[in-house]
Amino acid sequence: MPKVIAENCVACGSCADVCPQDAITVGDIAVIDESKCVNCGACVDECQHDAIVDE
């Protein structure tokens, strides 16, 4: 399951844009809705700030 590293997140929204399940919302930081996430890894691959890691 992907995890957001809050101190690295700049709330750019690129992770939310690539999420096929619309499981990510972005406010001050990205938040992943675990009930919607299918663990595809698209957000991990997309994040250029190393703010989302796969646990």
Cα 16 to Cα 55: distance, rounded to the nearest angstrom: 18
| Chain segment 22-54, per-residue pLDDT in tens | 999 999 999 999 999 999 999 999 999 999 999
**CATH number of the domain within which 34 lies:** 3.30.70.20
Domain span at residue 41?
A: 2-54
Name the pTM for this structure.
Answer: 0.94
In terms of Cα–Cα distance, which of 54, 52, 25, 19 is closest to 37? Answer: 19
Model confidence at 55: pLDDT above 90: no
Split into its structural domains, the chain has a count of 1
Predicted local confidence at residue 24, as pLDDT: 98
* Alpha helices in 1-55, H assignment, sequence order: 14-18, 42-46
CB 52 within 8 A of CB 13: no
